[in-house]
A = this chain, B = another copy of it.
Amino acid sequence: MFTYEYARPALTTDCVVFGLDDEALKVLLIQRDIPPFEGEWALPGGFVHVGESLEAAARRELKEETALEGFFLEQLHSYGDPDRDPREHVVTVSYFGLVNLIDHPPRAATDARNAGWFGLDDLPSLAFDHQQIVDTALERLRGKLRYQPVGFELLPRLFTLTELQQLYEQVLERTLDKRNFRKKVLSLGILRETDEVQQDVAHRAARLYEFDEAAYEERRQNGFHFEL
């Protein structure tokens, strides 16, 4: 038991992790194994340990509950409404993550009853204020996609220009003109054309590209602003 002079809110982290497959933009959820909201779906997360940084807590919980490791994760927003948890006053620091589902296929969870990827149009009712956190994360993703090259985190290392365009179309929920998109994205000078082509296609296999992070960093330091 731990005793303090003043009452303290409890502190958790919760993660909105987005992944992309052929069909849709998806978000990683776990099925809660304990009350409150037992059996309901929620964002992966849990209590911050004393002596642990916020990001370390977020990554630990993700690994424990969904076996997911080593991907883009950044802080989103903190939620502290006193009524957001029926047990007591719990403040949560939310994180926003991006993974590519090719390198991180869905796996059985350990600490949670169940874990799974859900299409954004097909989310179950979420525990706590987690729907609000998902909405904020989606807004952040849409904003970042236009002004930072974070979209590549959702793709495998090598991708076709069509896959890149589909990513933008799925996240931004609008159709883009193929010719304009290609011209714009290639003019940024941050894609490297590889010698490889798409596998497993019958004919006209498309060229594979990769994100050239070094080129992006160099351009950025010279005042270049990514915009797509």
- The reply to whether A50 and B80 form a contact with Cβ atoms under 8 Å apart is no
- Which residues of chain B are within 8 angstroms of A88 by Cβ–Cβ distance? 50
Stretch at the interface among A3-11, A100-108, A127-135, A199-207: A3-11
Please, which residue of chain B has its CB at the minimum distance from the CB of A91? B11
Tell me the complex Cα distance, A8–B10, Å. 7
Contact with B along A1-24 (1 / 0, CB 8 A): 111111111110000000000000
Please, which residue of chain B has its CB at the minimum distance from the CB of A55? B80
- The reply to whether B8 and A4 form a contact with Cβ atoms under 8 Å apart is yes
What's the interface size class on A, roughly?
A: 20 to 34
Tell me the complex Cα distance, A91–B78, Å. 11
CB of A82 within 8 Å of the partner chain:
yes
- Dominant SS at the A interface? loop
- The copy count of this chain in the complex is 2
Select the residue from A4, A52, A77, A88 with max chain B CB neighbours within 10 A: A4
- Which residues of chain B are within 8 angstroms of A52 by Cβ–Cβ distance? 82
Contact with B along A26-45 (1 / 0, CB 8 A): 00000000000000000000
- Which residues of chain B are within 8 angstroms of A49 by Cβ–Cβ distance? 7
Contact with B along A47-87 (1 / 0, CB 8 A): 11111111001000000000000000001011111100000
- A168-214 CB contacts (< 8 Å) to partner B: none
Tell me the complex Cα distance, A48–B82, Å. 11
- The reply to whether B80 and A78 form a contact with Cβ atoms under 8 Å apart is no
- The reply to whether B11 and A2 form a contact with Cβ atoms under 8 Å apart is no
Tell me the complex Cα distance, A152–B96, Å. 31
Residue contacts A-B, CB under 8 angstroms, 21 given: A1-B3, A2-B3, A2-B7, A3-B3, A4-B8, A4-B10, A6-B47, A8-B8, A9-B11, A9-B48, A48-B91, A50-B88, A50-B89, A53-B81, A53-B82, A54-B91, A57-B80, A78-B93, A80-B93, A91-B93, A93-B93
